[in-house]
Structure 1
Amino acid sequence: MRLIGLTGGIGTGKTTVSNYLANTYQLPIWDADLYAREAVKPGSPILQSIIQRYGNDILLFDGNLNRQRLASLIFSDSSARTWVEQQIHPFVRHCFVNNIQQLNAKILQNPDRNTPQYADGVLVIPLLFESKMTDLVTEIWVVYSPPEQQYSRLIQREKMISNRILTFEEAQARIQSQMSLEEKCQQADVILYNSSTPEELFKQVDAALQG
Structure 2
Amino acid sequence: MRVIGITGGIAMGKTTVSNYLATTYHFPIVDADLVAREAVAVGSPILSQIVDRYGSKLIRLDGTLDRSRLGAIIFADPIERAWLEQQIHPYVRKVFETERDRATVPTVFVIPLLFEAQMTDLVTEIWVITCSEQQQIQRLMQREKLSLEQAKARIQSQMPIQEKCDRATVVLENSTSLEALLKQVDQAVDRLS
TM over 0.5: yes
Give the TM-score normalised by structure 1. Answer: 0.89
Match of 1:171 in 2: 151
CA displacement 1:51-93 (0-9 Å, x = unmatched): 0000100111111000010000000000000000000000001
Corresponding residue to 1:153 among 139, 145, 149: 139
The total of aligned residue pairs comes to: 191
CA displacement 1:117-166 (0-9 Å, x = unmatched): xxx100000000000000000110000010000001101111xxxxxx31
Return the letter of the residue paired with 2:154.
R
Q: What CA distance in whole angstroms lies between the structure 2 residues aligned with 1:176 and 1:77?
A: 12
In the alignment, does 2:42 pair up with 1:56?
no
Q: Which has the larger radius of gyration?
A: 1
Q: What CA distance in whole angstroms lies between the structure 2 residues aligned with 1:156 and 1:170?
A: 12
Q: What CA distance in whole angstroms lies between the structure 1 residues aligned with 2:95 and 2:132?
A: 32
Q: What CA distance in whole angstroms lies between the structure 1 residues aligned with 2:100 and 2:68?
A: 32
Q: Percent identity?
A: 58
Say whether the 8 Å CA contact 2:3–2:100 is kept in structure 1.
no
In the alignment, does 2:114 pair up with 1:128?
yes
Q: 4+ residue stretches of structure 1 with deviation over 4 A?
A: none
The structural deviation recorded for 1:32 is 0.3
5+ residue gaps, structure 2, are none
The structural deviation recorded for 1:208 is 0.5
Q: What CA distance in whole angstroms lies between the structure 2 residues aligned with 1:157 and 1:23?
A: 23
Give the TM-score normalised by structure 2. Answer: 0.97
Match of 1:142 in 2: 128
